[in-house]
A and B are shown apart, each in its own frame.
Chain A
C-alpha cells in the first residue's frame, strides 16, 4: 500500500514537473530576452584576451565563484581527512602486485603528470584548465598509490601546497584590488598576443594555482582513503 501511494505521489510530481518545465529541454529561441551568455560570448575575446571563452567565464567573469568552488573542494578534502583518520600503522597484508603492473605504473606516472601540466597551461587556449588538469595529475598519484605497497607520500607537503595555492589565488585577486582597477580579481597583466601561451593576463596564472590546488587536494583525498581503516 505504501509503495502504491509513494508511486502515485512520485508520478504526480513527475507530471507536474514535466508540464511546468515543458520548455526546459528545448530552448525557445523565439523569446526575445537579453541573455548574459550571448553578451559574454561576443565580447570575451576582446576583454580578456582568452581564446577559450569558457575559460574566460570560469576564471574572470565568474572568477569569484571559482574561488568558492576551489574552497568547496578544499572543504571536501578536509572533511575526508577529519573523518578518515589515518590509523598510523601499516595494513597487515597488502596484495603483492605483479612486476609488470608496478613498472607500468611507474612508467605511466611521468607521462600523466606532464599531460596534466599541459592541460593546465593551455586552459586559456583549448578545452581544459586547472580543474581537469589537476584531476589528471591526481589520477597519476592514484595509479602509483594503488599499485605499490609503500609510497613515500608527504602529507605535510600536500597541505602546504594546498594552502599556498589557495593563498596565491587570493593574493592574485588582492593585487587587482590594490591596482588601478580597484577590483578583486581584476586582470592587471597585459593581455599579450591573442591565442598564444603567454596571453590573457592573469588567467593562466589563476589556472595554474587552481591546478596545483586540485591536484594536491585530490591526491591527499586518495591517500587518506587508502590509509584509513
Chain B
C-alpha cells in the first residue's frame, strides 16, 4: 500500500528543500519541483484502484481519531488527487518556459505549496486540519496572483486577500462552533454527532461554513475577487486557480452538505444560487474585451453549472458534476495556457489584437478551438458527455423547478457559445494585422496537447471514467460514519 500522506509531505518537503538549496541551485530548483510532481502523479495513480475497493484511513502521530488527526481517503480523495497532481505536472512543464526572471525558486516553492494545500483539503479527515490546508492553499494563491509585481496583479491580490481572509475567519468560526457543540473535530465522528446539535446552531454552522468556503469556490455573491485575480495572475497560475483550486473548495462544500452535515434541505437554495452564478458569469463574460477576463468570467459560469449538477440531490447529478469538473479542468487549462503565450507574443490582452493570429500561431489556435468546443459541449468532445449527463440528471428529478433551471443553463450555454465563437472568428480572420509573431515553444505546447488528449480521447474511456466518478458520487451521498474510520 502506498501511503496517501506522501501526497502531502512530498511537495511540502520539496518546497522546504528548494528554500534550502536556492542559493546555489538558482533556477535549477524547478527540476526538484518536477521530481515532486512526478512522484505525486505516481502515488495518486497507485492509490486509485485501492480506494475503489475500500477507503484508506491514515492515522497520524500514532493517535487514533477522534483524539488525533487522520487522513480519510475515499474515491473522492483519490480522484481529486489525480486531477490535482496531473494538472499540476502539466502546468509545471508549461511554467518552465513561461516563468522568467532571477528568483524563480520562489515561484516553484509557492507552486508546490499550492499543490500541498489542494491535496490536503481533499485528503484530510479532520475539520481543523481542513482549515489549516485551506489557509495554505489560500495564502499561496494570494501571493501567486500578485507574483509578477504589476499594478493590477497587486490590486487583485489585495482584493483577493481581503475577501479570502473574511472567508477563512467564517470557516474558523464554524470550526469553533463545531467543537463547542459536538466536542469533536474528526469528520466521521462529527457526522455521527451532528444530528444531536440544536437545529438553529446546526443551521448557523452550515451557513458560516458554506459562506466561508463559498468565497474560495466563487459562488455568486462572494465571487467579486475572481475576475481580477484569475485575469491578472500569471497565466499558468490562472490555469491552476480555475482548473482545480475553485473546484477543490466546491467539492469540500458538497462533501460537507451531503456526507457530514447531512443537511440536504439546503440543496434547493444552493441550486438556485448556482444558476444565478452561471447566468451572472456568462452575461459578464459576454461584455469583456480582455481575453483573460472572458476566461475568468467563464470560470464563474462553469462553477455555477458544476454546483447546479451537484446540488440535484442525486448520485447521477454528482456524477455529472464530477465529469464536468474533469472537462473544465482540461479545457479551461488549455484556454488559459494558450492565452498566456498569445499575451506574451502580442503583448496585448485585447481580443481585437489577435486578428488573424491563427496564421502565425496555428498550433496554439488549434488547441484553443478544441478547448472552446469541449467547454461548449460539442460532440464528440468530453464536454458533450458531461453536459448531457447534467441535463439528464436534472430532468430525471422530475421537478418543474429543475426543468426551468435546465432551460436557464441552456440559455447560459448559448451566450457562452456566442462570445467564444466570436474570439475564434477574430483569431481565424483572413486579413490578419499581426506580424512578427512566433509560435509558442515546444514544451508548453506539449503540456497543452496533453490536456487536449484528455478531452479528445475522453469518450473512448468514458465507461472507466464514469466508473470512478460514480464511485466518488456514491461515496459523497452516503453519510460518513465513525465505524468506517476504524
A173 at the interface (CB under 8 A from B): yes
Instruction: Flag if B9 contacts A78 (CB, 8 Å).
Output: no
Known: A68-B136, A72-B139, A83-B154. A185 touches B60 (CB 8 A): yes
Instruction: Flag if A167 contacts B17 (CB, 8 Å).
Output: yes
B51 at the interface (CB under 8 A from A): no
A36 to B113, CA, bound (A): 30
Q: List 5 A–B pairs whose Cβ atoms lie within 8 Å, in order of A's numbering.
A: A36-B185, A72-B136, A82-B110, A82-B146, A162-B19
Of the candidates A24, A69, A78, A183, the one whose C-beta lies within 8 Å of that of B132 is: A69
How many A-B contacts at CB < 8 Å in the complex? Answer: 151
Which of A20, A72, A75 has the most chain B CB atoms inside 10 A of its CB?
A: A75
Chain B residues within an 8 Å CB radius of A183: 58-62
Interface of B is mostly: helix
Residue-wise interface mask of A (80-97) relative to B, using a CB-CB cutoff of 8 A (1 in contact, 0 not): 011101000000000000
Q: Which residue of A lies closest to B193 (CB)?
A: A33
A109 at the interface (CB under 8 A from B): no
Instruction: Flag if B12 contacts A164 (CB, 8 Å).
Output: no
Which of A55-63, A119-127, A132-140, A189-197 participates in binding chain B?
A: A55-63
Instruction: Flag if B13 contacts A167 (CB, 8 Å).
Output: yes
Q: How many residues of B sit at the interface, in one of the four size bands? A: 35 or more
A187 to B61, CA, bound (A): 7
**Closest beta carbon of chain A to B149's beta carbon, Å:** 7
Instruction: Flag if A166 contacts B16 (CB, 8 Å).
Output: yes
Top-5 shortest CB links A-B? A163-B20, A166-B16, A68-B132, A163-B19, A35-B183
B21 at the interface (CB under 8 A from A): yes
Chain B residues within an 8 Å CB radius of A81: 106
CB neighbors of B among A131-176 (8 A): 156, 159-160, 162-164, 166-167, 170, 173-174, 176
**Closest beta carbon of chain A to B472's beta carbon, Å:** 24
**Closest beta carbon of chain A to B397's beta carbon, Å:** 32
A39 to B186, CA, bound (A): 14
Residue-wise interface mask of A (39-63) relative to B, using a CB-CB cutoff of 8 A (1 in contact, 0 not): 1100000010000000000001111
CB neighbors of A among B71-100 (8 A): none
Known: A20-B204, A39-B67, A183-B60. A75 touches B19 (CB 8 A): no
B142 at the interface (CB under 8 A from A): yes
A113 at the interface (CB under 8 A from B): no
CB neighbors of A among B126-154 (8 A): 128-129, 132-133, 135-136, 139-140, 142-143, 146-147, 149, 154
Instruction: Flag if B62 contacts A186 (CB, 8 Å).
Output: yes
A88 to B9, CA, bound (A): 35
Instruction: Flag if B20 contacts A61 (CB, 8 Å).
Output: no
A223 to B47, CA, bound (A): 44
Instruction: Flag if A78 contacts B110 (CB, 8 Å).
Output: yes
Instruction: Flag if A61 contacts B68 (CB, 8 Å).
Output: yes
Q: Which residue of B lies closest to A156 (CB)?
A: B23
A64 at the interface (CB under 8 A from B): yes
**Closest beta carbon of chain B to A18's beta carbon, Å:** 12
B413 at the interface (CB under 8 A from A): no
Of the candidates B18, B20, B142, the one whose C-beta lies within 8 Å of that of A79 is: B142
Q: Which residues of A contact B (CB under 8 A)?
A: 20-21, 24, 27, 33-37, 39-40, 47, 60-65, 67-69, 71-72, 74-76, 78-79, 81-83, 85, 156, 159-160, 162-164, 166-167, 170, 173-174, 176-177, 181, 183-187
A79 to B19, CA, bound (A): 13
Residue-wise interface mask of B (1-39) relative to A, using a CB-CB cutoff of 8 A (1 in contact, 0 not): 001010001001101111111110000000000000000
A4 to B208, CA, bound (A): 25
**Closest beta carbon of chain A to B248's beta carbon, Å:** 16
Instruction: Flag if A68 contacts B20 (CB, 8 Å).
Output: no
Chain B residues within an 8 Å CB radius of A76: 139
Chain B residues within an 8 Å CB radius of A159: 19-20, 22-23
Known: A79-B143, A176-B61, A184-B61. A164 touches B106 (CB 8 A): no
B182 at the interface (CB under 8 A from A): yes
Chain A residues within an 8 Å CB radius of B143: 75, 78-79, 82-83
List 13 additional A-B contacts (Cβ < 8 Å) besides A159-B19, A162-B16: A21-B204, A35-B184, A36-B67, A60-B61, A71-B113, A74-B113, A78-B19, A79-B143, A81-B106, A82-B149, A160-B20, A170-B13, A185-B60
Instruction: Flag if A167 contacts B139 (CB, 8 Å).
Output: no
Chain A residues within an 8 Å CB radius of B9: 170, 173-174, 184
B436 at the interface (CB under 8 A from A): no
Known: A36-B67, A75-B113, A177-B5. A68 touches B135 (CB 8 A): yes
**Closest beta carbon of chain B to A142's beta carbon, Å:** 22
Instruction: Flag if B183 contacts A33 (CB, 8 Å).
Output: yes
Instruction: Flag if B116 contacts A71 (CB, 8 Å).
Output: yes
A76 to B110, CA, bound (A): 11
Which of A160, A184, A185 has the most chain B CB atoms inside 10 A of its CB?
A: A184
Of the candidates B21, B68, B116, B146, the one whose C-beta lies within 8 Å of that of A163 is: B21
Q: Which residue of A lies closest to B64 (CB)?
A: A183
Instruction: Flag if A75 contacts B136 (CB, 8 Å).
Output: yes
A80 to B424, CA, bound (A): 40
Known: A72-B136, A78-B109. A185 touches B17 (CB 8 A): no
